[in-house]
A and B are shown apart, each in its own frame.
Chain A
Amino acid sequence: MKKAQIKELAQSIVSYDGITDETLNWILSKLNRSQLKIFLAFLTTAVKNKNVNIFYAGEISQGDKDKVFSLFSPEKKFVFIKDDESVVAGVRIEYGDFVLDYSVAQIVKRILSSIRESI
């Protein structure tokens, strides 16, 4: 199977949000070891691109959730994860290769590095 075909396969599996055991066995029989590695890499990337992970501290209201939903297209899969320690307050949104950091932890880190540089 060519690389482009493997990529398309991975993307379609993610867009249909899962496959049957039968389909999975068929895929495993058609791909050799190196192709399987490529398939896994494309699958990971596709999952990363589809999912939007929202890390929050404390509680998050429905209004705030709606604000997050409005930032992305409806096909995305939203996962809310409570993480008081690394966020402190606010939210951190991870989607694809990007991190949109609205957290207090990020602001504090920025202040510290700025102080370090100026001193």
Chain B
Amino acid sequence: MKPEEIIQKIEKELYEVKINPELINFGIVETVGDGIIKASGLSDVGYYEEVKIVGDPSVGFVLNIDEDLVSIVLLTDSGKIVSGMKVQSTKKVLGVNVSDRLLGRVINAIGEPVDGKELKQDNAVLCPVEKIAPGIIERGPVDTPLKTGIKAIDAMTPIGRGQRELIIGDRGTGKTAIATDTMLNQKKRDLGLKKVICIYCSIGQKQSNLAALTAKLKEQGALDYSIIVAATASYPASMQYIAPFTACAIGEYFMDKGEDVLIVYDDLTKHAWAYRELSLLIKRPAGREAYPGDIFYLHSRLLERAVRMSDEKGGGSLTALPIIETQANDMSAYIPTNVISITDGQIYLETDLFNAGIRPAINVGLSVSRVGGAAQTKLMKQLAGPVRLELSQFRELQAFTQFGSDLDEATLKRIERGKRLTEILKQPQYSPYDEVSEALSLFAVTQGLFDDIAVLDIQKAAAQMIDFIKTSFPETIGKLSTGAKIDDDLKAELIKEIKNFKEKNNYGSESTGN
């Protein structure tokens, strides 16, 4: 800043200063420990109000107001707070400063940068972390797809903009991988849809994992439209508790401007643990599994803020992908059942499938999207319909594969088709597909065009086929890109092109070798 600018700013402040009395409500620290201050006084303080310690840089907020004492949770703790110090109310509800400058940055739960660079926000808006979710009238229908780029999800459990879709599974089953791929896929602007701003909220995770994720987003050019809110395992429970609400407040800022936003909460199990820790420290009554009585409300009020706004209110949306970690595949535990009942569907990942090489390890039978086809293009709806049915039939018949020689031809064919469908739904990490590629893969398998290709060659064949058709038949790609249904003419065209591909690349019965 130039000296003239500094002088101008000082002069402006001096002329604009309001000479009126300040009424401050203060209290006295009675006890301090474990990141909690109990203060007497503060008779005019409100719930969730930010307070500061006089003569100390620590910041906290009010979480409990009792008859004689106020419990303050410290967000930053200098370690020098002692009994007898003064605590001053700020008359501000806990909030975070938000502006477009946050894009591409890594911040903590109170909006401070943690990526080693300065953060100067001009025209920042102070957004309260707690906010009432939009009402019914303000909401619009969830009818626009949020493409994850993962075939299994986009086909069978499609996600719409404004939906809450839970990703649930044991540790190491690929939950964060699905969220990451979804964020990476937003770079494509598939189907010509509005861009999506992504917010990744890390709660209680390892810092090394977050660093790796940030590096991957940066490498793929996805960090430019993303914001990372970090409350990793080394952060105090108060920061881990506030972080998802901070991320939501940031998302709402962009949503109110008419943008589409995706928030990933990774993960809400650790968020529940942090809230349990705080509640026990402030001596709230413990309920089931020592969680406080309002643990359901903690997640319901957070996830209800995911919304698709009506066109009158800007048409923006906030899509939530909460993640829950189960123990030993137990979906019926307390926190998982709570969040399942709140969200609009779940993607259930299984360790057995992961270990069997089916990645993403999505259990198609237990996964559901309550929005369903409303969030799919007509093209995907047409192609995805048979996939779910055939997979469920395959699962039922799998038990009989040991009797391979005793099954009738139709059953064997169904089993073979199921194997190829399972194979086509596998996908490497960091390789999201656009809608046309997904459609081509599913079309080829569901039409039986890959029935004569060995299961182990399906992935390779599909990749080559997609490249071939994209290069050689751009008009077909153009027709598919509209998202419209495949009519008879287009179907015939596609079958011919895929057979052409098989002939040229020596696949199946069309290969010149056969």
A interface vs B, CB < 8 Å? 41, 45, 48, 96-102, 106-107, 110-111, 114-115, 118-119
A99 to B25, CA, bound (A): 6
Decide if B6 touches A119 in the complex (CB within 8 Å): yes
Decide if B22 touches A110 in the complex (CB within 8 Å): yes
Decide if A45 touches B23 in the complex (CB within 8 Å): no
Q: A98-B23, A110-B22 are in contact. Are A119 and B17 (CB under 8 A)?
A: no
Q: How far is the CB of A24 from chain B (nearest CB, A)?
A: 23
Chain A residue with minimal CB distance to B88? A99
Secondary structure of the B contact surface, majority rule = mixed
CB-based A-B contact count at 8 angstroms: 50
Q: A45-B40, A119-B1, A119-B6 are in contact. Are A98 and B25 (CB under 8 A)?
A: yes
A115 to B13, CA, bound (A): 6
What residues of A have a CB within 8 angstroms of the CB of B43 in the complex? 96-97
Q: How far is the CB of B167 from chain A (nearest CB, A)?
A: 40
What residues of A have a CB within 8 angstroms of the CB of B22 in the complex? 99-101, 106, 110
A102 to B19, CA, bound (A): 9
**13 contacts across the A-B interface (CB closer than 8 A):** A41-B68, A45-B41, A97-B41, A97-B44, A98-B26, A98-B44, A99-B26, A101-B23, A101-B24, A106-B22, A110-B22, A114-B13, A119-B1
Query: What is the total number of residues of chain B having a CB less than 8 Å from a CB of chain A?
Result: 22
Chain B residue with minimal CB distance to A38? B68
Interface-central residue, A41, A96, A99, A106, by most chain B CB under 10 Å: A99
Q: A41-B40, A97-B41, A97-B42 are in contact. Are A102 and B21 (CB under 8 A)?
A: yes
Q: A97-B41, A97-B44, A98-B44 are in contact. Are A115 and B10 (CB under 8 A)?
A: yes
Q: A41-B68, A96-B43 are in contact. Are A118 and B9 (CB under 8 A)?
A: yes
B149 in contact (CB, < 8 A) = no
Q: A41-B40, A45-B40, A119-B1 are in contact. Are A99 and B13 (CB under 8 A)?
A: no
B333 in contact (CB, < 8 A) = no
Decide if B17 touches A107 in the complex (CB within 8 Å): yes
Interface string of B1-42 (1 = CB under 8 A from A): 100001001101110010101111111000000000000111
